[in-house]
Amino acid sequence: MHRTNLTAANDSASWVGLSLELQRATEPGLRPEAANGNQIVLSQGPHVVLSARIDDDRGGVAYSRTDHYRSPIAPLRATEVRAVSERGQPSWYTRWAHRFADALEASPIGPLHEGRWVLSRRLAREGMARTGDGPARPWRSLLLDEHPDGSIDWFTGSWRVVPLRRMPTPGEGRVKAYRKQAREGILPPALLWWFSGLNCYVVLDGHARLVAALAENREPAVLVLSRAPSGEQTRTGTDRALSAYHLTMSVLDGPHPVTDRQGAARDASRLLATQLHHLAVDYAPTRAWPMPAAHRPGLGTPRV
């Protein structure tokens, strides 16, 4: 796996994500499957962990979870957590991103397959560009913790967070340990995965850490795994951004006077940097595989 640290568009010292590029062709252990244009299954090895059906009017999706999901991340040891200091700083997120990347690369039950991925702080939702810096209140409405069944209204409920297993209670032993870490300011981030089939995030790892942060009225820190735009999409977007930039500069360098040419040129350069940055970190659609007959409703018994 080739890794590249990504920095902010206009601040090379600010870490925003980790680019992961996998060359080998492999079918992931955690794998979305689709059929008939409206049926979705999330399988992990031989088991179904989530099944969903998109509404006929394409206005939302109903889903049901099983109790078979297993995290691809091994439990985090307390000594390891305490060794990663400076919570909330870019270096703290960077270290946890590399830790999660190591685990995902080695795991046979994770979602990685060939192509480019990004692990970032970016929770793509209006008004919530980054996480881990505020109180818990905005997060309470994001978490869809009904179990086992739930639904998402895409007109009002997109970009929310779907656990892949039953959420623990605030009083459970492991949650109590995480609550202590939250009070000390060292609670590790949860790991989310952008799942475009649901138009929401799913929780890959950190169900108990999310509960602990909310129980202590702290906004959870998260890292988001997402597929990145393909090389062809990136090249096309880059060409368009450069063409627009060159056109702007040609106008500024033309025979007609321009008010505050220096400021306009600076704005054009910042816009170009922002557009190129978005091409590196934007979410791409989640890849899906054909659904086996055994997973299709009415065609067999799901392997659960």
Question: So where are the chain's domains?
Answer: 2-228+282-295, 231-280
Residue 121, pLDDT score = 82
CB burial readout 1-38, b (16+ within 10 A) else e: eeeeebebbeeeeebbbbbbebeeeeebbbbbbbbeee
Q: Say if CB 185 and CB 133 are below 8 A apart.
A: no
Q: What is the number of residues in the chain? A: 304
Residue 303, pLDDT score = 37
Residue 5, pLDDT score = 87
Apex 212 CA angle, 61 and 192, nearest 5:
40
d(CA 182, CA 51): 33
Residue 282, pLDDT score = 76
**H or E element at residue 17:** strand 11-22
Q: What are the pLDDT digits (tens) for 110-138?
A: 999 999 999 988 775 534 444 445 567 77
Residue spans of the chain under pLDDT 70: 9-13, 85, 87-88, 124-135, 230-234, 236-237, 239, 241, 245, 272-281, 296-304
d(CA 287, CA 42): 11
Task: Name the average pLDDT for the chain.
Answer: 83
pTM of the predicted model as reported, rounded to 2 decimal places? 0.83
Q: Say if CB 282 and CB 234 are below 8 A apart.
A: no
